[in-house]
């Protein structure tokens, strides 16, 4: 088997050349071609995922498996104050500045070599915001002279990279109705692509494209079947077919939030966005597949039309959001995509048409299904579903079950990495299950819309988290490294044969990409649940990662939350380089 590196062919180069560049306001403005080439350039990081395909792979080798044990802190910066909580951001680097977001919808620009603050922006959040899973933010986007990010009160803000001043600001939706935003935006062909959070409040998932320079809306594509899309302010066709996979009026409050952002592949010119759980959690109320929930949806970046979709968990009854990233890679001349789903299965899709190529478990215990039918693409369910409360004696609580994975997933939002050198995916996974039961529920705008109760439990005494290396073609697990606490941070792979990720216990760690041997670790003072990056500056390679424990685990984690209650919160950004 010959593994091919991801490289742009002539068609992609032509696509980049054909993009019409907007007038630059700075000699160091970030262009469309800069973003398309982010995975190949080493002196900056101008997109979430270190390239719009989301591979999180760097060709840098200055830091490698032979010398990574000589990494030392170059500088650290405190996010300050009492606003610590979970720091799930991925930094960006351009023109001598490092840009990072913090909890409570804050943004910072620092000198990337010294950590000295250049500016700080504190978004004024109103009372009554309704974030599901902590007051986190996962990062921003760079375009032209702007730094763009979303806020917990469902706005999108564009700041001047030099000053931090607001250039434009747009409202995504009404936060009082349950909408929020915390994912890093994606830039495609001069458009800023954003989704929405709030699936637990019965909102309507969608993907939106705005002119990145002005914030003006270009298109909207709902991810719940039956809702109308728009293009340049005009109707652009409904998503799917009304009532085809939803009963009655439940599609009007159907969830399927696009809360983890999107990736883009220029080879097939499609945006890939994951969608969350259908609403409510009580699946007995909504028989049918409930499209386009728990799916990867491929969308044309010019028109906002759906090109194809693949649904991971039809009629989801366990809250197995399908929002995890879809990562483009090539193998044997085939254009493929990898996706590690919350439901416990790793999927390989043909990214030209969404057809299933391979599917295999990446966690040890999966109770709800015994596999995925490679012919139909559908899960082979075991029947392990919570009971219908309407069929119970009191009508208040259905039959309780135990099922693994828990709703926090075999893998949650934390992005995996793909190495062009090894051909392996590095997946931050967790082994846990849950007691789960259904309850009656009615929709009320701005109120929680679950219809379920749960308690998350660990499956093993010695570990919950495990960083695992997988061959996506064979499904073989090449190595794993176990961790006592759940893993909740992103992964970085480099051509230096090193894989980096953090732990809730506070460590940033480096592993041999081929064997999983631990090569180095550093205690940052709080849990690492952000995503590491690397770049070169002044002839030196840097590694940077935010530190600050929080996110969904301490809020929703049940027995697991009790087990990790001693972990301390924090808020800082660390940068490392080799000692001299």
State the average pLDDT for the chain: 94
Interval 167-212: pLDDT, tens:
999 999 999 999 999 999 999 999 999 999 999 999 999 999 999 9
- Cα end-to-end span (Å), the chain: 41
What sign results for the dihedral spanned by CA atoms 113, 35, 413, 345?
A: negative
| Model pLDDT for residues 214-232, shown as the tens digit of each residue | 999 999 999 999 999 999 9
> What are φ and ψ of residue 17, in 5° steps?
-70, -30
Sheet holding 191-194, edge to edge: 186-188, 191-194, 206-211, 217-222, 228-231, 234-238
16 band by pLDDT with thresholds 50, 70 and 90 = very low
DSSP per-residue codes, 383-400: ---PPPGGGSSSSS----
**Res 3 pLDDT > 50:** no
pLDDT tier, 240 (very low <50, low <70, confident <90, very high otherwise): very high
Q: Which is more confidently placed, 568 or 492?
A: 492
- Does the pLDDT of residue 328 top 80, yes or no? yes
Are the C-beta atoms of residues 561 and 504 closer than 8 Å to each other?
no
Say if residue 21's pLDDT is above 70.
Answer: no
Q: What is the 3-state secondary structure (H, E, C) of 144-190?
A: ECEEEEECCCCEEEEEECCCCCEEEEEECCCHHHCCECCCCCEEECC
pLDDT above 80 for 336: yes
Lowest average pLDDT, out of 124-138, 274-288, 295-309, goes to 124-138
Q: Per mean pLDDT, which range of 4-13, 47-56, 81-90, 501-510 is the poorest?
A: 4-13
Amino acid 283: pLDDT: 97
Two tokens, residue 456 = 């998350």
* Long-range contacts (CB closer than 8 Å, 24 or more residues apart) made by 332-340: 332/1, 332/2, 332/4, 333/4, 335/265, 335/267, 335/268, 336/472, 337/265, 337/272, 337/296, 338/416, 338/418, 338/425, 338/472, 339/274, 339/296, 339/312, 340/410, 340/411, 340/416, 340/425, 340/427, 340/429
**Res. 27: pLDDT tops 70:** no
Contacts of 81 (CB under 8 A, 6+ apart): none
Q: What b/e readout covers 4-32, taking b as 16+ CB neighbours within 10 angstroms?
A: eebebeeebeebbeebeebeeeeeebbbb
| Distance from C-alpha of 369 to C-alpha of 372, rounded to nearest angstrom | 8
pLDDT digits (tens, 9 = 90+) for 117-175: 999 999 999 998 888 888 999 999 999 999 999 999 999 999 999 999 999 999 999 99
Contact 296/273 with Cβ under 8 angstroms? yes
Residue range 353-363: mean pLDDT, rounded: 98
Distance between alpha carbon 322 and the CA centroid of its chain, in Å?
10
Distance between CA atoms of residues 3 and 300, nearest Å: 28
pLDDT grade, residue 26 (50/70/90)? low
Whether 25 shows a pLDDT value over 80: the answer reads no
Distance CA 101, CA 181 (A): 13
Query: Are 429 and 466 a contacting pair, CB within 8 Å?
Result: yes
Q: Per-residue pLDDT for 18 more than 70?
A: no
The answer to which of 161-165, 210-214, 363-367, 562-566 has the lowest mean pLDDT is: 562-566
Token pair listed for 138: 């996962």
CATH superfamily of 10-578: Quinoprotein alcohol dehydrogenase-like superfamily (2.140.10.10)
pLDDT, mean of residues 93-115: 97
**Strand order across the beta sheet in which 533-537 lies:** 71-78, 572-578, 540-547, 533-537
Considering only 186-200, 233-247, 552-566, which range has the smallest mean pLDDT? 552-566
Phi-psi region of 344 (alpha: psi -120 to 50; beta: other; left: phi over 0): left
| Secondary structure class of 411 (helix, strand, coil) | coil
In terms of pLDDT, which residue wins out, 346 or 3? 346
Average pLDDT over residues 223-252: 97
Q: Phi first, then psi: what are they for 285, rounded to 5°?
A: -80, -15
Degrees (nearest 5) of the Cα angle 486, 491, 493? 145
Confirm whether 350 is a catalytic residue.
no
Please tell me the distance from the alpha carbon of residue 239 to that of residue 257, in angstroms, as a whole number: 14
β-strand pairing of 369-372 with 356-361 = unpaired
Which one of 34, 144, 316, 319 is the catalytic residue?
A: 319
Query: 7: pLDDT confidence band, cut at 50, 70 and 90?
Result: very low
Mention every residue, 6+ apart, whose C-beta is less than 8 A from residue 461. none
Take residue 392 and report the two structure tokens written for it: 């119970």
pLDDT in the model for residue 83: 74
Alpha helix stretches (DSSP H) within 213-258: none
> Is pLDDT of 306 > 70?
yes
pLDDT reading at 252 higher than 90: yes
Tell whether the model's pLDDT for residue 539 goes beyond 70: yes
Tokens 């803000």, residue located:
157
Report the percent of the chain where pLDDT is more than 90: 88
Domain ranges in the chain? 10-578
- Scan for tokens 């009082």, then name that residue: 176
Query: How confident is residue 313, by pLDDT bands cut at 50, 70 and 90?
Result: very high
């Amino acid at each position: 088997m010959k593994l091919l590196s991801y490289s742009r062919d002539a068609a992609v180069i032509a696509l980049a050349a054909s993009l019409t560049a907007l007038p630059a306001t700075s000699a160091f403005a970030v262009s469309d071609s800069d973003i398309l080439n982010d995975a190949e350039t080493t002196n900056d990081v101008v997109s979430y995922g270190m390239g719009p395909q989301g591979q999180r792979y760097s060709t840098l080798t200055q830091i490698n498996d032979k010398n990574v044990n000589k990494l030392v802190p170059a500088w650290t910066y405190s996010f300050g104050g009492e606003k610590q909580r979970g720091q799930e951001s991925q930094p960006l680097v351009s023109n001598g500045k490092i840009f990072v977001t913090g909890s409570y919808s804050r943004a910072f620009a620092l000198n990337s070599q010294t950590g000295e603050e250049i500016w700080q922006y504190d978004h004024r959040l109103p009372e009554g915001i309704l974030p599901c899973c902590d007051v986190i933010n996962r990062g921003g986007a760079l375009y032209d002279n702007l730094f763009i990010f979303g806020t917990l009160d469902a706005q999108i803000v564009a700041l001047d990279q030099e000053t931090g001043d607001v250039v434009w600001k747009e409202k995504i939706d009404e936060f009082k109705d349950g909408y929020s935003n915390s994912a890093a935006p994606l830039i495609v062909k001069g458009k800023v692509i954003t989704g929405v959070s709030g699936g637990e409040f019965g909102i309507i998932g969608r993907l939106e494209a705005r002119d990145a320079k002005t914030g003006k809306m270009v298109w909207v594509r709902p991810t719940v079947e039956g809702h109308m899309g728009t293009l340049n302010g005009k109707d652009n066709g409904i998503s799917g077919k009304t009532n085809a996979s939803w009963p009655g009026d439940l599609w009007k409050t159907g969830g399927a939030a696009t809360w983890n952002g999107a990736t883009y592949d220029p080879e097939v010119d499609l945006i890939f966005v994951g969608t969350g759980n259908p609403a409510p959690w009580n699946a007995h109320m909504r028989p049918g597949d409930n499209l386009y929930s728990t799916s990867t949806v491929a969308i044309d970046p010019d028109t906002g039309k759906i090109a194809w979709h693949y649904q991971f968990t039809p009629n989801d009854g366990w809250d197995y959001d399908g929002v995890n990233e879809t990562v483009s890679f090539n193998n044997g001349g085939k254009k493929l995509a990898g996706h590690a789903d919350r439901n416990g299965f790793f999927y390989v899709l043909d990214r030209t048409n969404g057809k299933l190529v391979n599917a295999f478990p990446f966690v040890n215990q999966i109770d709800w299904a015994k596999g995925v039918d490679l012919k139909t693409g559908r899960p082979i369910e075991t029947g392990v579903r919570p009971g219908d409360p309407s069929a119970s004696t009191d009508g208040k609580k259905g039959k309780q079950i135990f099922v693994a994975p828990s709703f926090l997933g075999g893998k949650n939002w934390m992005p995996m990495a793909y190495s062009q050198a090894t051909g392996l995916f590095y997946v931050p996974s967790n082994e846990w299950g849950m007691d789960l039961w259904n309850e009656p529920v009615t929709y009320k705008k701005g109120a929680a819309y679950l219809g379920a109760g749960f308690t998350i439990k660990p499956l093993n005494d010695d570990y919950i988290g495990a960083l695992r290396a997988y061959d996506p073609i064979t499904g073989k697990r090449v190595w794993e490294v176990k961790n006592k606490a759940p893993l909740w941070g992103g992964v970085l792979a480099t051509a230096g044969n090193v894989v980096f990720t953090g732990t809730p216990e506070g460590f940033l760690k480096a592993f041999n990409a081929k064997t999983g041997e631990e090569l180095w670790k550093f205690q940052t003072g709080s849990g690492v649940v952000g995503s590491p990056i690397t770049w070169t500056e002044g002839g030196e390679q840097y590694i940077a990662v935010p530190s600050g424990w929080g996110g969904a685990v301490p809020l929703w984690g049940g027995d697991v939350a009790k087990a990790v209650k001693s972990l301390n919160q924090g808020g800082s950004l660390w940068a490392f380089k080799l000692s001299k």
